[in-house]
Amino acid sequence: MRHNAAYTAYGITGDPAPSSADVSITRALRQAGTVMDIQIMDHVIIGDRSGDPTGAGFYSFRNAGLL
């Protein structure tokens, strides 16, 4: 049986581009989720549209193809 879980953390810091720590923790969560049969749906970083070069104001690992 597959389970879905949601984890949300908000940090308004400007540019939502992921740090190396963001990428690392996302990989670790994906691996842990696989072991526990939990699908990680997305990891979204919320930022400020004015601080985001793309103008979106957020970064989605799913949209970027990293999940």
Report the mean per-residue pLDDT for the chain. Answer: 82
How far is the C-alpha of 2 from the C-alpha of 38, rounded, in Å? 6
How far is the C-alpha of 61 from the C-alpha of 26, rounded, in Å? 8
Whether residue 58 contacts residue 46, with contact meaning beta carbons closer than 8 Å, is answered with: yes
pTM of structure: 0.71
- pLDDT for res 1: 43
| Residues 43-67 pLDDT 10s | 999 888 887 888 888 999 999 998 8
Whether residue 57 contacts residue 16, with contact meaning beta carbons closer than 8 Å, is answered with: yes
